[in-house]
Chains A and B, each alone.
Chain A
Amino acid sequence: MNAIVSIQDLTKIYEGGFQALKGVSLDIEEGEILALLGPNGAGKTTLISTICGMVTPSSGSISVGGFDIARNYREARRLIGLVPQEITLEPFEKVINTVRFSRGLFGKPADPAHIEKILRQLSLWDKKDARIRQLSGGMKRRVLIAKALSHEPRVLFLDEPTAGVDVELRKDMWQVVRALQEDGVTIILTTHYIEEAEAIANRVGVIDGGRILLVKDKQALMQQMGQKELLIELHDPITAIPVGLEDYALRLEDNHLIYTYDTAAERTGITKLLSALAEAGLVLKDVSTQQSSLEDIFVGLVGENG
């Protein structure tokens, strides 16, 4: 895979002395959906804003499609579409005019057919002559996406595309994102909804405190770091973990013994645990397992970092 966006040792110190990025290096592969996951203030928006040209980096370099974003800013920026986090639109302008404006701004000749295609894809065609202030919040977000796609970018940045968006619209948005990926667009989205990353990303990057803590294939990440919990419900209530079971790092909650194990490990220790339970004379009522989600992994990582 080729890196379409390549970031090297990027740092950003704001005027007040706040260091938002502390040496970020990241390669974004062509055609992938990369989710950047991180809590508020992690540096997600600063990172995107720097790639897109709204924030000047303090040091480090970024290239998009092989073009340096500072030296060859025109070539680099032509490849990029940006959907900002906040809904920022000229309220009195018509939908279609603001989309046309974006295309012109990026130096592309007028192409009514392309604009129509985008507006239809985003279910905005009926609203093309509406003034932006008349639209609902969800529609406005679609307009932002339409603007970002107006100049046929190869890389699309979505900064928290589904923040404050209802469930229905979020699902719609994911569909749009997947359709774009099928068209060959590389997509980078930031989110603090783990389910979002889990639902649509190919790779997940975790960012916190201005550092990329990890970037991994989503499946591998969940497999590698995914832990399972074995829940053992006891027939007779106990108040303390019985003697002889200290080695298993068990937790006792609501008459359940909980055993955490690594699914990728060679030996999960389940068999030994179960026979140890029998030896301790415990009678089991029910046994179940649950997979830890990306959220648990995330909380684990951010917690360690903090």
Chain B
Amino acid sequence: MNLRAIKAIYIFEMARFFRTLTQSFISPVLSTSLYFVVFGTAIGSRIEQVEGVSYGAFIVPGLIMLSVMTQATSAASFGIYFPKFIGTIYELLSAPVSYLEIVIGYVGAAATKALFIGTIILLTAFLFVDLRIEHPLVMILFLILTCLCFSLLGFIIGIWAGNFEQLQLIPLLVITPLVFLGGSFYAISMLPPVWQAVTMFNPVVYLISGFRWSFFGVSEVPITLSLGAIAIFTVLCLAVIGWIFKTGYKIKN
């Protein structure tokens, strides 16, 4: 294992994160605060409790997931796409590093960024709503797994993307809708039966539900199913990445 290479990639990527602190840190915090003001305070004050939890608190896990998923995906996809775009990937390909080490470096850095943002949002939430976390360890585990899983997904997108438009395509057209429709801001039980059934095909539902369970102890799908879903999702991403490196897809001639 070339640990120094992993460290070098990780530090280099984190430096990019801190260089663009406004974009990568202040903007998610600001937008989350806006969500709290608009949904939590303005609209939430007219909504009864959802599943025994005040609406302001109910949306916290969904909001964190929304940010963590989009930030992990965009950080990881950009992280590996940028060297491809400007050509510095030659150095990675000619260095004595294994593909696994490259993935650990980039995905680790992206997951760290997402985790950082998720934590900041959680802390921000405490300022706005009265929040309790019933299963803190499960919460942390879920948060970390989600960061990792979506960073892996982002890595795949970054490798696949041939231009900046494609880089944005999946986050905008797939991930954001899935997260919004995955029960970030509402309980699935609020939907008409037909849509409840359709929603069950949305993988994000299982993640948000599981994460919410760690906060409030109530969930719409069993927690084991949620954990299973994120495990399957992670394994799928790992398999695709394994295939990418085995074939050199889009990175090597």
State whether the Cβ of B23 lies closer than 8 Å to any Cβ in chain A: no
Partner of A92, one of B7, B9, B19: B19
Give the complex CA separation of A123 and B137 in angstroms: 53
Give the complex CA separation of A97 and B11 in angstroms: 10
Contact, CB under 8 Å: B86 / A91: yes
State whether the Cβ of A78 lies closer than 8 Å to any Cβ in chain B: yes
Contacts of A104 in B (CB 8 A): 4-5, 7-8, 11
- Known A-B contacts A56-B248, A104-B8; the reply to A77 vs B87 at CB < 8 A is no
Nearest to B20 among chain A residues (CB) is A92
Contact, CB under 8 Å: B96 / A78: yes
- Per-residue contact bits, chain A 53-68, to B (CB 8 Å; 1 contact, 0 not): 1111000000000000
* Residues 69-127 (chain A) with a chain B CB within 8 angstroms: 73-78, 80, 82, 84, 86, 88-93, 97, 100-109
Partner of B88, one of A74, A80, A89, A109: A89
- Known A-B contacts A88-B86, A92-B19; the reply to A82 vs B94 at CB < 8 A is yes
Partner of B4, one of A15, A84, A109: A109
Contacts of A54 in B (CB 8 A): 90, 93-94, 252-253
State whether the Cβ of A193 lies closer than 8 Å to any Cβ in chain B: no
Give the complex CA separation of A85 and B98 in angstroms: 24
Give the complex CA separation of A93 and B13 in angstroms: 11
Contact, CB under 8 Å: A52 / B5: no
In angstroms, how far is the closest chain B Cβ from the Cβ of A144?
Answer: 10
Partner of B252, one of A56, A93, A101, A109: A56
Contact, CB under 8 Å: A80 / B2: no
Contact, CB under 8 Å: A88 / B94: no
Contact, CB under 8 Å: A88 / B87: yes
Give the complex CA separation of A92 and B13 in angstroms: 12
Contacts of B5 in A (CB 8 A): 104-107
Contacts of A106 in B (CB 8 A): 5, 95-96
With an 8 Å Cβ cutoff, the count of chain B residues facing the other chain is: 27
Partner of A73, one of B4, B8, B83, B96: B96
State whether the Cβ of B243 lies closer than 8 Å to any Cβ in chain A: no
State whether the Cβ of B130 lies closer than 8 Å to any Cβ in chain A: no
Contacts of A89 in B (CB 8 A): 86, 88
State whether the Cβ of B165 lies closer than 8 Å to any Cβ in chain A: no
In angstroms, how far is the closest chain B Cβ from the Cβ of A56?
Answer: 6
Contacts of B16 in A (CB 8 A): 92-93
Contacts of B100 in A (CB 8 A): none
* Residues 81-133 (chain B) with a chain A CB within 8 angstroms: 82-83, 86-88, 90-97
In angstroms, how far is the closest chain B Cβ from the Cβ of A125?
Answer: 21
State whether the Cβ of A147 lies closer than 8 Å to any Cβ in chain B: yes
Contacts of A84 in B (CB 8 A): 87, 90
Give the complex CA separation of A90 and B90 in angstroms: 12
Give the complex CA separation of A106 and B5 in angstroms: 6
- Known A-B contacts A54-B93, A86-B87; the reply to A107 vs B2 at CB < 8 A is yes
Contacts of A77 in B (CB 8 A): 94-96
- Known A-B contacts A15-B253, A54-B253; the reply to A105 vs B8 at CB < 8 A is yes
Give the complex CA separation of A77 and B5 in angstroms: 13
Contact, CB under 8 Å: A107 / B248: no
* Residues 164-211 (chain A) with a chain B CB within 8 angstroms: none
Give the complex CA separation of A89 and B83 in angstroms: 9
Nearest to A12 among chain B residues (CB) is B253
Nearest to B251 among chain A residues (CB) is A54
Nearest to B16 among chain A residues (CB) is A92
Give the complex CA separation of A297 and B91 in angstroms: 35
Contact, CB under 8 Å: B252 / A107: no
In angstroms, how far is the closest chain B Cβ from the Cβ of A145?
Answer: 13
Given contacts A77-B94, A101-B12, A107-B4, 11 further A-B contacts (CB under 8 A): A14-B253, A49-B253, A54-B94, A74-B2, A75-B96, A76-B96, A77-B96, A90-B12, A90-B88, A105-B91, A106-B95
A-B contact pairs, 24 of them (CB 8 A): A49-B253, A52-B90, A54-B93, A54-B94, A54-B252, A55-B252, A55-B253, A56-B252, A73-B96, A78-B96, A80-B94, A88-B88, A90-B83, A93-B15, A97-B12, A101-B8, A102-B8, A104-B4, A104-B5, A104-B11, A105-B5, A106-B95, A107-B5, A109-B4
